[in-house]
Structure 1
Amino acid sequence: MSPARVMVVDDHPVVRDGVALLLRNEPALVVVGSAESGRAALERAAALRPDLVLLDLRLPDMLAPEVVSGLRAAVPAARVVVFTAHGDHHGVQAALDAGAHGALLKDAAVTDLVAALRRVLRGERVCDPRMVRDEDASRSAVARSGLTRREYEVLRLAAQGRTNPEIAETTGLARNTVKTYLQSALHKLGARNRVEAIGKASEAGLL
């Protein structure tokens, strides 16, 4: 069998080089390329044809859920694994909700990393056990924001890169209703537009 093709997406060269070094002696996995941003990842993915993408949770230009959605569209067969130093970040769950196949911490030992990636390639969904979503913290963050459940749901889908018509289809709401919820969420977050609202929601631990 030919080795699985791995693409590393991280804005830190030391991480990109480090993963390549870690996997160098693993015959079942080969790093075929990397990207330093979300947009670069989406541009290069089709040409690199990775079987697996290791994706940093915090990129300078895009939120991880947006990149996950874009990668799922660009290379549907690829498995996407979030790779992060922040195990308790709500962005992990948002990335999983957007279609990521797993989430691993960057401090994983090489044997653990390789074993986890092999499991993902076999079709399993793998998350580091230390990445426990704190439901109470998530609920309290939403409560502090003043967002209703529907406003939060619409905003979370917007953060995944969904358009208003797509959000309407997913939630079963009318398009005008989606627009109303989104405008209300923007107002409550003190944001001027969708991008700013997503940024503020991410900072507040909502995404």
Structure 2
Amino acid sequence: MLTRIVIVDDHPVVHDGVAAQLQRYPDMVVVGRAGTGAAAVTVCAEERPDVVLLDLRLPDCLAADVVPELHRVSPESRILLFTAFPEHAAVAPTLAAGACGILVKHAGSTAIRDAIRSVARTGAFHDGTPASVTTPVTAREYDVLRLVAAGHTNPEIGTELNLSINTVKTYLRTVMHKLAARNRAQLIANARGQGLL
């Protein structure tokens, strides 16, 4: 079975290096590349790949933002998070958004091959990275945090996420406690300091 792959990363050296490694395997073909989340959505809508290798941090968004869009335009695609920072705080929200697993960028060509085959065959890949242990916020808290950072009020966040205002306040209180923030400005600053935004 031929596995069709799209590589999403803003560094050409990563694109080219991974594509070159995968050329060795007759059961894999790279059908597209993208350097931004928006470009990834376009490429995946056209190519409908089996597997998407998705960088955690893109110039226009974090991976957690683009995973739902990729699933919308290409429901059968399986997304493998590809990052140099497996302990990054945004990993768990990306997995919660629907990515199948995480692969570190320093992995060798056989590890990349095995991860792609695993995701294509079973829809999952685990290399033992304890992402959830190191991530302070849940996927829903992360959603609230991103909307706060975008300047939304509690009622607007409630409408956007289909939550009651009290629930929004609870999430906000929890995430402020977790990130040791006393107000929204400090919350945004602390979240940026931890690489969440």
Q: TM-score range by the shorter chain?
A: 0.7 to 0.9
- Of 145, 154, 161, the match for 1:167: 161
CA distance in 2, matches of 1:47, 1:188: 44
CA distance in 1, matches of 2:139, 2:101: 22
The alpha-carbon distance between structure 1 residues 104 and 190, as it changes in their structure 2 partners (threshold 3 A), is same
**What does 1:31-46 correspond to in 2, within 5 Å?**
31-46=30-45
- Which amino acid letter does the alignment assign opposite residue 77 of structure 1? E
The alpha-carbon distance between structure 1 residues 17 and 97, as it changes in their structure 2 partners (threshold 3 A), is same
Q: How far is the alpha carbon of 1:134 from its aligned partner?
A: 6.4
- Of 116, 134, 142, the match for 1:156: 142
Residues 98-155 of structure 1: CA deviation (Å, up to 9, x unaligned): 10011100111111111111111112421322x22363x545xx6xxxxxxxxx7644
Query: What residue is the counterpart of 1:103 in the other structure?
Result: 102
Query: What residue is the counterpart of 1:146 in the other structure?
Result: none
Task: Establish whether residue 203 from structure 1 lines up as the match of residue 193 from structure 2.
Answer: yes
Secondary structure of residue in 2 paired with 1:89: coil
**What does 1:89-100 correspond to in 2, within 5 Å?**
89-100=88-99
**Contact (CA 8 Å) 2:91, 2:135: kept in 1 or not?**
no
CA distance in 2, matches of 1:158, 1:52: 29
CA distance in 2, matches of 1:153, 1:66: 11
Which ranges in structure 1 are unaligned for 5 or more consecutive residues?
143-151
TM-score, scaled to structure 1: 0.75
CA distance in 2, matches of 1:49, 1:200: 38
Query: What residue is the counterpart of 2:166 in the other structure?
Result: 177
CA distance in 1, matches of 2:40, 2:67: 10
Q: How far is the alpha carbon of 1:206 from its aligned partner?
A: 5.0
Query: What residue is the counterpart of 1:147 in the other structure?
Result: none
**Contact (CA 8 Å) 1:53, 1:80: kept in 2 or not?**
yes
- Cα RMSD, aligned residues only: 2.9
The alpha-carbon distance between structure 1 residues 27 and 159, as it changes in their structure 2 partners (threshold 3 A), is farther
Query: What residue is the counterpart of 2:131 in the other structure?
Result: 133
The number of residues matched between the two structures is 182
Q: How far is the alpha carbon of 1:164 from its aligned partner?
A: 4.0
Query: What residue is the counterpart of 2:152 in the other structure?
Result: none
Identity, % of aligned positions: 38
**What does 1:50-129 correspond to in 2, within 5 Å?**
50-129=49-128
Query: What residue is the counterpart of 1:49 in the other structure?
Result: 48
